Homo-oligomer: A and B are copies of this chain.
Amino acid sequence: MTVVNGYEQSDREQDLDILNLPSLEAEAKKIIPTGGFGYIEGGSEDNWTLAENTKAFEHAQIVPKALSDMEDPDLSTSIFGIDLKTPVMMAPTAAQGLAHSRGEAATAEGLAAVGGLMAQSTYSSTSIADTAAAGNGAPQFFQLYMSKDWDFNYSLLDEAKKAGIKAIILTVDATVDGYREADIINNFQFPIPMANLTKFSEGDGKGKGIAEIYASAAQKISGADVKRIADYTDLPVIVKGIESPEDALRAIDAGASGVYVSNHGGRQLNGGPASFDVLPSIARAVNHRVPIIFDSGVRRGSHVFKALASGADLVAFGRPTIYGLALGGAKGVASVYKHINHELEITMQLAGTKTVDDIKSAPLTHFSYND
């Protein structure tokens, strides 16, 4: 255990024997301090959208396929020409020092070990360069919380390019902090500096609440910002926080190279639809012009399958990774992705889908369930 500013960080490093991802939460809660756990786990308002995100996967069902004449399902896929060993990636997630002393560096290392894609957050505990280095050459994306200060933005983008980042994820659903009651109850303030903020006038985030952090971020974000970032970096820009076909088209028109369907894991606008429920209509609108990344509520191999079969190209989650990080460091993160890959492989075999592309054209049923 490492104690920083009175906050107790896990420094475990071990493979995890995982039964399933939902069960990690209770284990992680035992070792992550209350404030940090509340920040990681909590959604906004009464957590309705948070809960619906996972329940919504029951709105579609996977059709088992008989006599499929296949074996050895293959999880490999690619995005923007980057080869990946699994379609399951890390969702950009802030402040991973809350879960582990090595923070994002350990997460990147774990992802690299399984050939999964790491996405860094602007509000990381470790710096872009350090996290990139920990990935040891494995592909990484960088998520930008756009600041009102473009010098700050350009500086981060410069650092990202320098570190070999392959694409920029521009988060657009957090122009104000969601009303997160757990943080209010815990009077939560970040105990650990955010590495990417240390050089800047606005301070490193330490001792601040989430509202103060977001106060420095831009509220007013438009399509022009997408273009500005794409032009500046010459990297693909993926717009994250899309929940409607209209927004997906607006992002593409603005120059987005990818669409990231997400409601921020139910942490921003409560009372909005489950992310899985809106995915099919967005996929129809996007119509394969750009790749779609999906997150919010994913906890099972069957969820990954359903998201891919509903139009996603890559599927992400944050919380289970963070719990794996707390419980096992880089090895714990790798265990999380090995486990979800294992569940996904079983589902693929039983659904008669040999490849990720096969999943994308697999049928789903939509019987109405009542519980």
Closest residue on chain B to residue A367 by CB atoms:
B277
Q: Does A48 contact B (CB under 8 A)?
A: yes
Q: Does A61 contact B (CB under 8 A)?
A: yes
**Residues on the B chain within 8 Å of A226, using CB:** 67
Q: Tell me, rounded to whole Å, the shortest Cβ–Cβ distance linking A54 to chain B.
A: 10
How far is B59's CA from A370's CA once the two chains are assembled, in angstroms? 9
User: Binding site of A, secondary structure by majority: helix, strand, loop or mixed?
Assistant: loop
* Best-buried of A69, A226, A251 by chain B (most CB within 10 Å): A69
With A273-B365, A300-B271 given, is the CB distance from A176 to B67 under 8 Å? no
With A68-B221, A181-B20 given, is the CB distance from A272 to B61 under 8 Å? yes
**Residues on the B chain within 8 Å of A71, using CB:** 175, 219-220
**Residues on the B chain within 8 Å of A363, using CB:** 244
CB atoms of A172 and B346 under 8 A apart:
no
CB atoms of B369 and A368 under 8 A apart:
no
Contact of A273 among B52, B176, B270, B367 (CB under 8 A): B367
Contact count band on A: 35 or more
Copies assembled: 4
8 closest A-B pairs by CB: A271-B302, A71-B219, A69-B222, A269-B350, A61-B273, A66-B172, A66-B247, A176-B349
CB atoms of A179 and B343 under 8 A apart:
yes
**Residues on the B chain within 8 Å of A69, using CB:** 220-223
Q: Does A228 contact B (CB under 8 A)?
A: no
Q: Does A325 contact B (CB under 8 A)?
A: no
**Residues on the B chain within 8 Å of A56, using CB:** 367
**Residues on the B chain within 8 Å of A26, using CB:** none
Q: Tell me, rounded to whole Å, the shortest Cβ–Cβ distance linking A356 to chain B.
A: 17
Q: Tell me, rounded to whole Å, the shortest Cβ–Cβ distance linking A343 to chain B.
A: 6
Q: Can you list 23 A-B contacts (CB < 8 A)?
A: A57-B271, A58-B370, A61-B271, A61-B273, A64-B263, A64-B268, A64-B272, A66-B241, A66-B247, A67-B172, A67-B222, A67-B223, A67-B254, A68-B221, A173-B350, A179-B342, A244-B363, A269-B351, A273-B365, A277-B365, A368-B370, A370-B370, A371-B371
Q: Does A72 contact B (CB under 8 A)?
A: yes
**Residues on the B chain within 8 Å of A185, using CB:** 19
> Besides A67-B254, A244-B363, 18 other CB < 8 A contacts?
A45-B300, A45-B302, A62-B269, A63-B272, A64-B243, A64-B247, A64-B269, A64-B272, A65-B247, A66-B239, A66-B247, A67-B250, A69-B220, A269-B351, A271-B302, A271-B303, A278-B365, A369-B370
